[in-house]
Structure 1
């Protein structure tokens, strides 16, 4: 059985409950405490850290041990020792019971504390309560002397009875004071638990508010910049008074559309001359106004949240004042405990000794009376007896006076203890009400933060539509480049198709001539068996290949934007782009202007065309023209792809040079053209090699620049490199040498915090408890060893993380890189 002590927060009263280990759950504890408070009125906190307990936490062996340790500390008060040190320092835990009704604003005041026995004079026995002394066997006859002496003895017996009342009263008063002080200590601990729980609520609210404030500041800056750019883009025109071109500030009305696009718009019945004409301006402006209004409202709500948060959370000075008041209340308890201990060591022992003296005097008086009665006939015996009894009576009376004085001291002490507990209960009610109101306000503020976070995400989504207008100029330039590339592709595709088909037709014509020459020559002497049995197709014509090119509908719909230069590209380019552009311009100039009739394809298999053409007649000029056109179209397509990639990389693209002059090739120019072909191929190969060399130099320059920047970082560069490597956190797989981020997810067996690896579809990677020092908020470490297990029965060492039976899990041992 598990024996627990549950402390009532409002009164400090202790309730003992006994539970079987299988019944040790939150609902069972609530039902056992129903006699103290109704279940729907209960708030149970266990700690530290003080939270509403979960069944997994209650059934933890370490939690049970900590609860027993807390019970032992509380029992020290009842044994005359006090312990008001924070429970976190000893590792002990306690269970506190709070009442929801006591937190209400109209809750009744707690009753005043009354100790038993009540402060004030104790009820004393009278002479009638004292029985006569028992006669001795020799005192069978009553005499006047015996009657006179018996009066002294009866008085001494009454003094003994009063002394016993004072001695027992001291024990009862001190026991009542100890019990009352133990309840006051429980109230002080319960107040600490409530304050700790409030601190957790405050810390969570502060973290959430800080995250929202950071996100809001970043988003507000982005939104304001985006709205300003939208206003510039939506203008009819822009005049740059600084004579400095800036793509960021140009309006859509200053960017003209390509003439082919203007013509296409006119053919559809619309008038579009600039980019601004393509935008549904009224709708976009209305949407921008809505976004502006929403942003202003969100800003006002964020300001209201800051004010509400300051009111709910309070200031550190207010927290310090409350903490000082709580410490002062605990100091009063400590002072009273010290006084009770002193009274216990001094007065209670004194009262016991004095009572023993009174009892001894009474016994001695009885003996003197008996002796005097037996020796009544002897002279002087009676006078001696009366004298001794008179002295004893005076001594007993003096002792009773001192005992009464000590009892008054204990009465006053018990009255102060009772008054202190009454004040503590009233202060506890006020403080718990204040804490409850603060938690309610924090909950409302936290809820408001959540609402504003959702509103911020929604505003981000809504205002993101305006980026279409802001980014339209750069997207338009990419659109022109894309159209040029697609037209080049269509031209290259059709030209290569025509050239290939022409080559196949020429090869078939040559094949027909060769077959006719064979059949008219050696073939006419062959026997019929060669034509009918051996090779039935020996006298047939070669197969005809006549494919049909699909209709190039896309090419017909693409506007002819020509070779318009990307005049709206950003002026900021990377280092070395001018050198690359000059090489590209030189290659384009050499290819297009020196001899446009002789072009070399970038395709590695382009040489196969020459092999195929070896069978062609050297006097046929049309096929060569087809090949030249196909290769020229292919090069233009490759050039368009290259220009698009350079533009996407941010390199300034030189104007495209396109010559529309054509060269007529005559049959007698074939030899010289072949020579020029070889020479041009050599020059272009040289230019390509030079371009590759320049690219390598540019890359080397970039690497050297990066190395120089790294060297300027100082002696801490190695450490920063290590930290950068450490920032690469694994989350999809975990191998030895990887970096893992482990976050706390609760507590497992033994009450220790469980740290689970941050992962994506890679669950059940737990940090080894040997790598955990204290209770950090996270652990970042390099994996040095991992071991696979299968979860066994619950609440056993084979299932330390409370998983379902049969679940595979891994325990990772790491070299800690950072923790917080």
Structure 2
């Protein structure tokens, strides 16, 4: 569906669910436009705090406690710092996972945009194909007709030269003697033939060029859709084919969509491991906080010593295992982010290359469509010349048919005149009877009218009207012309006695 510039998207029911809209920049698809630059990875650098701020301290700094309880408070402070560091690393990991997910989403959008652009190109190419099929059918029907007319031209000219125009026709046209070829003009006929040959040769040559360009265009469209590069003798088409191959061939180190999905799923699992470590550190902080609260309420030397031993082991685990593990997991998330960002950039370059090829193919389609419209005018001119030459071939039969038509009209006119005469005689007899009846009436009753009714007496004494029949001047000329034709022996022989018989 083509969107008109004067209409808004809402008039087409857009945007709508399941009907995405893709916007393409014409400027970025021009020949001189540079390829898209790689977007830098968001600066998600780790800035892990090394100490707690006063607001983050779990206990007031001025708190006075026994030495063993103070050791527990120190462990609590260390554990809180470890938890703060872990949460900082985890938040950065979450941001990395979100950035990776966004890259994968953009990969999906770019893939959909490529498919939509390719489908749009296929629609334009199909419209051109439909027009070209109709053009080829017309050419295939007309060119053989033109060749046959050209081949029989000399025979047709000889036939026109052999038929002499009837003497009556010559007198009607003001000629002394002429043939049908003289009536047509041999030079004009040969000029038609030359122009017809030149136009047909030009049309055939342009059609051959167009057919080659059309085949190359179809190969380009097919290569774009199938991802297969085909050789072509045309340099411009070869450039398009190379562009198609560049768009379809993955670059070194490129990541496929399946690999990108696997990377993102693995990154999500890594992020889940970070959350588990953070939850473990939060549990340790809660445990040490409970121990400190218990010692502050009821100090116990034995309990404090046992707690210090257990907390020392956990503190070592935090510093030697959990926090380094968090950094390792963050490095894995950073690698996944870099890989997906690179994959998105590769997809952007591929989309840019493919869209440039599509843009060039669409320009080629528009050019071929304009050329096809121009060749349609050449085809119409060839058809006009063929019609003229075909009329020349039919002229002998047309000439004889015209003479026969003149004779036929004469017969019709004779029959009409006979009918008019009979009608006139009938009307005259009826008038005479009416005149006699009026005379008898006046002799019997008219003499008895008083002199005081002169108007009525004059009205009753009126005679019946006369009726006249006449024919037009053209009919009279037709009769004279037909009679002159019938007197010509050559015309009678050409027409034949059977064709001159009028069916009454």
- TM-score, length-normalised on structure 2? 0.75
Q: In the TM superposition, what is the alpha-carbon distance from 1:128 to its structure 2 partner?
A: 7.0
Is it true that 1:170 corresponds to 2:93 in the alignment?
yes
Is it true that 1:464 corresponds to 2:387 in the alignment?
yes
1:478-503 deviations in whole A, cap 9, x for unaligned? 12212322344455566677788899
CA distance in 2, matches of 1:154, 1:434: 63
- Structure 2 partner of 1:482: 405
Distance 1:480 1:187, change over 3 A: same
Q: In the TM superposition, what is the alpha-carbon distance from 1:342 to its structure 2 partner?
A: 4.2
Distance 1:342 1:547, change over 3 A: closer
CA distance in 1, matches of 2:296, 2:416: 151
CA distance in 1, matches of 2:102, 2:470: 107
Does the CA-based 8 Å contact 1:51-1:197 persist in structure 2?
Answer: no
- Structure 2 partner of 1:134: 59
Is it true that 1:394 corresponds to 2:299 in the alignment?
no
CA distance in 2, matches of 1:187, 1:468: 62
- TM-score, length-normalised on structure 1? 0.49
Does the CA-based 8 Å contact 1:117-1:172 persist in structure 2?
Answer: no
- Structure 2 partner of 1:220: 143
1:279-338 deviations in whole A, cap 9, x for unaligned? 210111112211211111112122222122223343564144339977989993344234
What pairs up with 1:597-746 in 2 under 5 angstroms? 639-640=501-502
2:282 to 359, 366, 369: 359
CA distance in 2, matches of 1:363, 1:331: 44
Does the CA-based 8 Å contact 1:136-1:370 persist in structure 2?
Answer: no
Distance 1:260 1:395, change over 3 A: same
CA distance in 2, matches of 1:349, 1:219: 75
Q: In the TM superposition, what is the alpha-carbon distance from 1:214 to its structure 2 partner?
A: 1.1
Q: Which is strand-richer, 1 or 2?
A: 1
Q: Which is helix-richer, 1 or 2?
A: 2
1:248-281 deviations in whole A, cap 9, x for unaligned? xxx223334446557x48x945432x43333210
Is it true that 1:58 corresponds to 2:2 in the alignment?
no
Distance 1:302 1:420, change over 3 A: same
Deviates more, 1:209-218 or 1:360-369: 360-369
Distance 1:565 1:271, change over 3 A: closer
Is it true that 1:253 corresponds to 2:253 in the alignment?
no
Q: In the TM superposition, what is the alpha-carbon distance from 1:445 to its structure 2 partner?
A: 0.8
Distance 1:366 1:641, change over 3 A: same
CA distance in 2, matches of 1:328, 1:318: 15
1:225-257 deviations in whole A, cap 9, x for unaligned? 23333332113xxxxxxxxxxxxxxx2233344
Does the CA-based 8 Å contact 1:181-1:417 persist in structure 2?
Answer: yes
CA distance in 1, matches of 2:423, 2:358: 88
Is it true that 1:231 corresponds to 2:154 in the alignment?
yes
Is it true that 1:414 corresponds to 2:320 in the alignment?
no
What pairs up with 1:749-768 in 2 under 5 angstroms? none
CA distance in 1, matches of 2:300, 2:448: 180
Unaligned runs of 5+ in 1: 1-48, 70-91, 236-250, 570-583, 586-635, 643-820
Does the CA-based 8 Å contact 2:255-2:343 persist in structure 1?
Answer: no
CA distance in 1, matches of 2:35, 2:444: 129
What pairs up with 1:794-813 in 2 under 5 angstroms? none
CA distance in 1, matches of 2:466, 2:121: 91
* SS of equivalent residue, structure 1 residue 110: coil
- Structure 1 partner of 2:21: 95
Q: In the TM superposition, what is the alpha-carbon distance from 1:183 to its structure 2 partner?
A: 2.2
Does the CA-based 8 Å contact 1:312-1:441 persist in structure 2?
Answer: yes
CA distance in 2, matches of 1:550, 1:198: 69
* SS of equivalent residue, structure 2 residue 486: coil
1:113-143 deviations in whole A, cap 9, x for unaligned? 334354xx62222247686652599x51685
Distance 1:159 1:50, change over 3 A: farther
* SS of equivalent residue, structure 2 residue 480: helix
May I ask how many residue pairs the two structures share in their alignment?
464
Distance 1:492 1:355, change over 3 A: closer
CA distance in 2, matches of 1:216, 1:385: 100
1:439-474 deviations in whole A, cap 9, x for unaligned? 111111111112222332233234422233111111
Distance 1:377 1:98, change over 3 A: closer
Q: In the TM superposition, what is the alpha-carbon distance from 1:415 to its structure 2 partner?
A: 0.8
- Structure 2 partner of 1:305: 210
CA distance in 2, matches of 1:164, 1:115: 22
* SS of equivalent residue, structure 2 residue 22: strand
CA distance in 2, matches of 1:377, 1:492: 149
Distance 1:93 1:432, change over 3 A: same
CA distance in 2, matches of 1:496, 1:127: 133
1:113 to 39, 61, 66: 39
Unaligned runs of 5+ in 2: 229-244, 450-456
CA distance in 2, matches of 1:550, 1:358: 123
- C-alpha RMSD over aligned residues: 4.6
* SS of equivalent residue, structure 2 residue 24: strand
2:257 to 320, 333, 336: 333
